[in-house]
Amino acid sequence: MRYSFFLFTIVLSLTVQAQKNFTLSGHVQDESSGEQLIGATIYAKEVNTGVGSNIYGFYSLTLPANSYTILVSFIGYNTQTFEIDLTKNIRKDFNLTAGLTLKEAIVTGEEFNRIEDQVQMSKVEIPIDQIKRLPAIGGEVDLLKALQLMPGVQSGGEGSSGLYVRGGSPDQNLILLDGVPLYNVSHLFGFFSVFNADAVRNISITKGGFPARFGGRLSSIVEIHMKDGDMRDYHVDGTVSLISSKLTVEGPIVRDKASFMISGRRTYIDLLLNPLIQNSANNDPNITVDPRYYFYDLNGKLNWKISPSDRIYFSFFNGLDDFGINFSENLEESSLNLDLGLDWGNKVQSLRWNHEWSPRLFSNLSLIRSKYNFNTGADATYGFLEPNTNLSASARYAALYVSQIEDIGAKLDFDFSPNSRHYIKYGINYTNHTFLPGVDSSFATFSIEGAPLDTVYSSSGGAVETKSDEIFGYFEDEFEVFDGLNVNLGMHAAALFVDDTSYISLQPRVSFNYKLSQDYALKLSYAKMSQFVHLLSNEGVGQLPTDLWVPATRNVKPQLSKQVALGIAKTFGDIELSIEGYYKSMDGLLSYREGADFMFSADSSWVDQVTQGIGNSYGAEFLLQKKKGKISGWIGYTLSWSNRQFDEINSGLWYPFTYDRRHDLSLVLNHKINDFWDLGLVFVYGTGRSLTLTESSFETYVLDQSGENIIPIIGQVPSSKNAYRLSPYHRLDISLTKSKLLETGQRDLIFSAYNVYNNVNPFFALIREDENGNAVLREFGLFPIIPSIAWRFKF
């Protein structure tokens, strides 16, 4: 009741105030390419008021009728100043030119939208240009690995691109590519993400203080926006590294009206390693071993400005990993051919329509489709020649396992700026989920002299396809309560309908930003989140393509979280300081039961393999970030705890989460030495992840099939769950880039080294005996020092 009255008051005040004001609206874009700029600042100097452009580059600034000096600024671009006589609604697009003029960066326009002015807390953005200058394994820059260098965001371990945000697990991150959720974002078992940095315009991660427009996951929202495509000129960007090559082409279809962008990447690890593997395996002339692995991804976008008020975007993403091995043996009297393979990939499409209903009302309608599938199969053929009769016989067995998840949906979002004090967003979203946790099928056939002999038998079994419908609606308003105090207040309401069960969740969201002084702000937020999907994953291994997405059902309830965060923010020139503390409680967490086989053939019994429990996480994060200048980078430090409790695990006692990492430190530095040389440096340190070890053993037996003899078995007694820790993780990466500017474009030669001082960072560990017979832990690493070279070009 009280909330309804409060909402009514806001709407009433909006109506009253709106009558005296006029609106300046339009888009902010890059002058040379026409690319929309997200989060640009449009600031009215006289009234110390401004707004930011939305994810489509649209802005709307409503002010009382008057003359104003408008400053338009965006990081990496020259700030522009315009004089506006606002006596009627004005539509104006601002075109900014790229550049780094330090003095202009400290004008008043920049001073408005600093970190201490923003209501949104717990959000970090890394400029794409800065990411591209980071040292990278094999020379392959990775967006998610760059996010892992931020405080509050941890990696799962060596080579993993999974994100563990504020004590959450990888399935608790909503990863949106142009607004479409992706379910598996890993290539090569997690060593690389599916995101091609050359195709991306902007990336950010929100770890807390979630505004009402987001929902569906507990721990973070990762927004990745693809480039729209240059509206004015054609460009080609490419990179050739030791692991992969990529090419991006963009340009106008109709100048200033329509554009395209297409970017592809493929690895050639198979081409490099196969000859070595074959050479070592094929010592026997009768045996042939032919392994294969490659991945590719393809991003594309069409962008069409139908009218000044209407714009259509079509985006797509296709990615695939293909992993397999073929073994064959040909002898005089028999032959065997065995082919094993597994492949997994995403297919994503979205169609979006932007429409400006009025200078103050902007909308986006999206139609989306996202599909992830995983297949594995085996095909074996055995041939036999009976020596006495010369009769030939053959047998063939083939099996296929398919698992997939598909989302089809639509969403409608509105941005409404009634006046300078309120910025309202509201919308509705519908998604139909189709889950297929795993289906087996197989057949076999026998033949003699080529003629079928025994009956072909095919069996199929596995999980039933499950469909669910998810709907959510939201309303949020960011407004100024009084001078110095800004609030974002909203409600996210979600519902899931699956089989004969429904779940409804009301999720209040609120964030405060209070300016303690001109330079300091105190921030506070509260967010309740729900998640209607779970990822069945083995904690010890981390994310694998075999992990299964399953819905909340009658027996498996949704996940819920409540998070409160408190922080301070300050800007020193072009350096941002953020210190935050948080506490998050979680419910409905899913885990495999003790003794469950995480590689079981998931069928309708997956529900029997899992159990649900609760968790909490809390900690403090420190971030000092410089986004521009000759020296840029950041220092991030996190002190955190993350715990879990399941009634059926660890005797119901609380235990540390596997990725409970007490200390996490990242130091990232980019130094533009001169116009020709760039130095990049990354140092990371983190407490080792926790693990369970055997502490003692005992003996038992079972009876053999006759019931007369015993089969002795030695059993192990594990410690309490996660009572031990691996050694700390730390490594140093360095890169050196030599640039050459030519008339036709730019060429870069990038030299880099991963794990420069060759530290063995534990990938897994086993208990072994040392020379004295004492039990010791042997830790095995994955990546030693890896030097690499890459060549990048653009024209």
The distance of closest approach from Cβ of residue 250 to other proteins in the complex, given in angstroms and rounded to an integer, is 35
Tell me if 742 contacts other proteins by CB under 8 A: no
For residues 647 and 704, which CB has a smaller minimum distance to other proteins in the complex?
Answer: 704
Rounded CA gap, 184 and 546, in Å?
A: 10
d(CA 746, CA 238): 11
CA dist., res. 375 & res. 402, Å (int)? 5
Q: Using the rule CB under 8 A, is 238 a contact of other proteins?
A: no
What does the alpha-carbon distance between residue 512 and residue 119 come to, in Å, rounded to a whole number?
A: 6
Q: Which one of residues 83, 500, 743, 770 is an interface residue with other proteins (CB under 8 A)?
A: 770
Identify the DSSP state of 98: B
Q: By CB under 8 A, name the one of 19, 283, 455, 674 that touches other proteins.
A: 455
Contact status: 653 vs other proteins (CB under 8 A): no
In whole angstroms, how close is the CB of 783 to other proteins at the nearest point?
A: 8
- Give the footprint of other proteins on residues 25-84 (CB under 8 A): none
Q: Does 336 bind other proteins (CB under 8 A)?
A: no
What are 397's two structure tokens? 């067995």
Q: Which is nearer to other proteins, 393 or 495 (CB)?
A: 393
Residue 517 touching other proteins (CB under 8 A): no
Q: Please enumerate, as own/partner, the contacts of 442-447 that have beta carbons within 8 Å and a separation of 24 or more.
A: 442/397, 442/398, 442/399, 442/400, 443/397, 443/398, 444/395, 444/396, 444/397, 444/398, 445/395, 445/396, 446/393, 446/394, 446/395, 447/393, 447/394, 447/395
The residue among 139 and 462 lying less far from other proteins, judged by its C-beta, is: 462
Of 97, 330, 459, 746, which lies in the binding site for other proteins, with binding defined by CB under 8 A? 459
- Quick one: which of 764, 787, 791, 793 contacts other proteins (CB under 8 A)? 764
Nearest approach, Cβ of residue 601 and other proteins (Å): 6
Please, is 485 exposed, middle or buried when counting C-beta atoms within 10 Å of its C-beta (0-12, 13-18, 19+)?
A: middle
Our finding on whether 516 is near other proteins (CB under 8 A) is no
Of residues 601-620, those binding other proteins (CB under 8 A)? 601, 605
Residue 696 binding other proteins, by CB under 8 A: yes
Query: Is residue 401 within the footprint of other proteins (CB under 8 A)?
Result: yes
- The answer to the question of residue 775 lying near other proteins (CB under 8 A) is yes
Of 5 and 757, nearer to other proteins (C-beta) is: 757
Q: List Cα–Cα distances, 237 to 30, 196, 303, in angstroms.
A: 18, 12, 19
Q: Does 717 bind other proteins (CB under 8 A)?
A: yes
Q: Could you tell me which residues come within 8 angstroms of residue 270 by beta carbon, excluding any fewer than 6 positions away?
A: 291, 292, 293, 294
CA gap 297, 291 in Å, rounded:
21
In sequence order, which ranges of 256-348 are alpha helices (DSSP H)? Answer: 269-281
Based on the shown chain and the rule CB under 8 A, indicate whether residue 780 belongs to the binding site for other proteins.
yes
The binder of other proteins chosen from 453, 504, 607, 653 (CB under 8 A)? 453
* Least distance in angstroms from the C-beta of 448 to other proteins: 10
Per CB under 8 A, which region of 102-110, 115-123, 515-523, 599-607 contacts other proteins?
Answer: 599-607
Whole-number Å distance between alpha carbons of 206 and 39: 15
Instruction: Considering only the stretches 61-69, 414-422, 550-558, 710-718, report the one whose residues sit in contact with other proteins under the rule CB under 8 A.
Output: 710-718
Q: Which of 388, 390, 697, 744 binds other proteins (CB under 8 A)?
A: 697
- Give the sign of the dihedral formed by CA 530, CA 532, CA 536, CA 537: negative
* Shortest CB 692 distance to other proteins, Å: 5
Q: Binding residue for other proteins (CB under 8 A) from 358, 555, 694, 746?
A: 694
Selected range binding other proteins among 2-10, 298-306, 440-448, 576-584, rule: CB under 8 A = 440-448
For other proteins, the binding residues in 625-644 under the rule CB under 8 A are: none
Residue whose C-alpha is closest to residue 739's, from 675, 689, 790, 789 = 675
Near other proteins in 577-596, by CB under 8 A:
594-595
β-strand partners of 337: 328, 381
**Which tokens is 662 given?**
């007490």
Q: Which of 140, 97, 5, 128 is nearest to 735 (CA)?
A: 140
Q: What string of DSSP letters covers 703-738?
A: E-TTSSSEEEEEEEEE-STT-EEPPPEEEEEEEEEE
Query: Rounded to an integer, what distance in angstroms lies between the CA atom of residue 110 and that of residue 71?
Result: 9
Q: Which residue has the tokens 């929100």?
A: 206
By the rule CB under 8 A, 449 interacts with other proteins: no
By the rule CB under 8 A, 538 interacts with other proteins: yes
How many positions of this chain bind other proteins (CB under 8 A)?
Answer: 89
Q: Site mask, other proteins, residues 243-282, x = CB under 8 A? A: ------------------------------x---x-----
- Told to check if 787 binds other proteins by CB under 8 A, we report no
Q: Does 451 interact with other proteins (rule: CB under 8 A)?
A: no
The β-bridge partners of 623 are: 578, 636
When asked if residue 391 is in the footprint of other proteins (CB under 8 A), the reply is no
Q: How far is the CB of 540 from other proteins (least distance, A)?
A: 5
The CB-of-323 to other proteins minimum distance in angstroms stands at 6
From residue 310 to residue 329, what is the string marking binding to other proteins with x (rule CB under 8 A)? -------------xxx----
Chain positions 158 to 217 lying near other proteins, rule: CB under 8 A, are 189
Output 518 or 694, the one with its CB closest to other proteins.
694
Q: Which is nearer to other proteins, 453 or 516 (CB)?
A: 453
- Asked if 296 is part of the footprint of other proteins (rule: CB under 8 A), the reply reads no
Of positions 428, 444, 493, 535, contacts other proteins by CB under 8 A: 444
Residue 386 sits in the site that holds other proteins (CB under 8 A):
no
Residue 461 is a binding residue for other proteins (CB under 8 A):
yes
Which pair of tokens denotes residue 464?
């039933």
Q: Which residues contact 50 (CB under 8 A, 6 or more apart)?
A: 41, 42, 43, 44, 61, 109, 112, 113
Nearest C-alpha neighbor of 44 from the set 26, 83, 70, 62:
70
CB of 584 to other proteins, least distance (A): 25
Of 53-61, 194-202, 370-378, 673-681, the window that binds other proteins (rule: CB under 8 A) is 370-378
SS (H, E, C) 205-264: EECCCCCCCCCCCCCEEEEEEECCCCCCCCEEEEEECCCEEEEEEEEEEECCCEEEEEEE
Q: In this chain, which stretch among 45-53, 217-225, 420-428, 724-732 interacts with other proteins, using CB under 8 A? A: 724-732
Nearer to other proteins by Cβ, of 98 and 703: the residue is: 703
Task: State the SS3 of 363-421.
Answer: EEEEEEEEEEEEEEEEEEEEEEEECCCCEEEEEEEEEEEEEEEEEEEEEEEEEEEEECC
Q: Which residue has the tokens 């590719």?
A: 296
Contact 83, 67 (CB under 8 A): yes
Tell me how far apart the alpha carbons of residues 417 and 14 are, in angstroms, rounded to a whole number. Answer: 9
Nearer to other proteins, 99 or 461 (CB): 461
